[in-house]
Amino acid sequence: MASQPFDGKSSPPPAVTEYNAMLERQAAIWNGRGLDGVIEAYRSMTVEKNRASLHETYLHLLRRQAEPNPLPRIDFHEFPKGARPHLLGLYLGTLVGGVYPRLCWQSSDIARGTLTYIFPGGPADTTTWRQKLPVISAWLGDHWTIANETSNTITLVRRTPLPETLLFSPSQLKDGALFLGVDADTQKPVMLPFADMTSGTFIPGASGTGKSNALHIIIQSLLANARYFQAIYLVDGKDGVAFNRYRNAAPGRVHVLWQDAEVWKLATDLTAVLRHRNELQRNQGIDNATRDFIAVVIDEMATFTARPSVDSKNPDNKLHAKFIDDLTLLARRGRSGGLRLIVSAQEPVVEQIPASVRANCLTSIAFRLPVDAHATAMFGQLDGLPTDPRRLPRGQALFKNGLSGDVRRVQFPVMRRT
């Protein structure tokens, strides 16, 4: 039996109802408000032509706004919250190849906090989007981070922001690895296996940025893994005040030093140990030590790098010069022999850490560096970093893995002294 044409009096067929709803949605998209809930409407449609038409309206809106004479700008802050993810690229003004990135309706889930953006005009502009994460979070609401990226996509996820203060717990430490706080984006612990550490790690940061607290967290991590270390040397540039509490932590294995002569002798002795270990490794065909590590943590490096005297006849000057040479060697070649040098200073300048030492500290944990020259000295171009090192809040740092080159923003928990 042939179907009867729709007479307009009885209830319209589902396809007609869907088509009319699609037309209404298309009209609403042009003022932006129709984008609120559009993904749910799109996915509920049963007629593929209606789905395609609705999606094309969204794409045409983005294309129209990229033209020399776009539609009149709408106040972005008048958009309902559910519509804003669709126009994020337009809000940021991030044209790539003359095209605004579009929200992928197939893979995004606004309610669950997953937004995938496609860059049809060229490579995904991850650098700009990473820099604008605070702006993105403020406009969309909540806290958003980049969870994944490909050559032409960026995926944002909504996360609960970390509290301003995290408390340290020994349960955060892990066997065989250095604990470096919590990733500020993924909120997962950041662990650096001892075997994967470079010879030297440099920790710069202005006074009051949380550097000293981080050093104590790192020492706790070393002490919890003391069985992996032949020796742990804690060199205290604050005249023994900061590290003396650890003098009995592991008798015979942990050593606290603060006198210049002791520190200079330590560098000489470790240079001899390194050469001896390298000789054994050559004979055994071993590239890098995987056990019996030796850790040297130096706080306030400037205390030991300042020349003893301007008097060229002062015998301490030669000892000091040899100390700098030994330290440079340990920072450059220590990894093969299992030496792990961790040095802190307030500023990455030659007066506080010799250029030869800093150049060989491939790994860095940089706390706030408010001076432009100091920030660029550490990272070169600041574009593309997870955040601006000049504006890091207290307790947060940029951790650069010296082997992989990966840079992450980490937050160190606060260690309360008992």
pLDDT of residue 259: 94
Mean pLDDT lowest for which of 98-107, 114-123, 159-168? 159-168
**pLDDT tens track for 265-311:** 999 999 999 999 999 999 999 888 888 999 999 999 999 987 666 66
Distance between CA atoms of residues 166 and 169, nearest Å? 9
Distance between CA atoms of residues 233 and 403, nearest Å? 24
CB atoms within 10 A of CB 23: 14
CATH of 170-411, one of 3.20.20.70, 1.20.1250.20, 3.40.50.300, 3.30.565.10: 3.40.50.300
pLDDT of residue 1: 38
pLDDT of residue 258: 94
Q: Which residues contact 47 (CB under 8 A, 6 or more apart)?
A: 15, 18, 19
The answer to whether 179 touches 191, Cβ cutoff 8 Å, is yes
Task: State yes or no: pLDDT of 194 exceeds 80.
Answer: yes
**pLDDT tens track for 103-132:** 999 999 999 999 999 999 999 988 889 888
Task: State yes or no: pLDDT of 58 exceeds 90.
Answer: yes
The whole-number average pLDDT for the span 55-65 is 93
The whole-number average pLDDT for the span 72-98 is 87
pLDDT of residue 9: 56
**pLDDT tens track for 318-372:** 888 999 999 999 999 999 999 999 999 999 999 899 999 999 999 999 999 999 9
CA 118 and chain centroid, separation: 23
Pick the residue with more confidence: 314 or 311? Answer: 314
178: phi then psi, degrees, rounded to nearest 5: -85, 130
Helix, strand or coil, per DSSP, at residue 8: coil
Lookup: tokens for 29: 């998209």
DSSP 135-197: HHHHHH-SEEEEEEE-SSEEEEEEEPPPPS--B--GGG--TTEEEEEEETTT--EEEEEGGG-
**pLDDT tens track for 1-51:** 344 454 555 555 677 888 888 899 998 888 778 899 999 999 999 999 999
In 3D space, the residue among 294, 322, 275 whose CA is nearest the CA of residue 232 turns out to be 294
Distance between CA atoms of residues 17 and 51, nearest Å? 14
Lookup: tokens for 301: 């490096």
DSSP 309-355: -S-TT-HHHHHHHHHHHHHHHHHHHTTTTTEEEEEEESS-STTTS-H
Q: Among residues of the chain, what percentage have pLDDT more than 70?
A: 94
pLDDT of residue 2: 44
Mean pLDDT lowest for which of 67-71, 138-142, 350-354? 67-71
What residue spans define the domains of the chain? Answer: 14-159, 170-411
